[in-house]
Amino acid sequence: MRVTLVVLLALFLALQYRLWFGKNSLPDYWRLQQEVSNQKATNENLERRNQLIYADIEDLREGEDALEERARNELGMVKKDEVFFRLVPDRNP
């Protein structure tokens, strides 16, 4: 009976060691869970960004309004016979 108890205790301690300090231990599992969670959040952010880019592309392909807005804002273009006034604030009030 005493030998069986010692063998069982040794086996229990060996399994506990592997559980806490061995390869694929609980701390490794928890760390990997955190990494997976972080990667999922990153992927969701990238997916949202991609959807916005796809929407911009679709607007540029389909509608002239988005194309005109980009031309005006980013390139400073104006329509024919249109006058553009730029109001510059006074530096010395």
Ordered mean pLDDT values, 10 residues apiece, the chain (93 residues): 90 86 88 97 98 88 81 83 82 77
Which residue has tokens 């969701």?
A: 44
For residue 67, the model assigns a pLDDT of 79
For residue 20, the model assigns a pLDDT of 85
- Helix ranges restricted to H, the chain: 2-21, 26-62, 64-75
For residue 14, the model assigns a pLDDT of 86
| DSSP letter assigned to residue 77 | -
Which residue ranges make up each domain of the chain?
Answer: 24-69
For residue 93, the model assigns a pLDDT of 66
Task: Give CA–CA dist 20/81, Å, rounded.
Answer: 77
Distances (CA, A) of 23 to 12, 20, 31, 36: 17, 9, 13, 19
Contact 59, 68 (CB under 8 A): no
Token pair, residue 33, equals 């869970």
- pTM for the full predicted model: 0.55
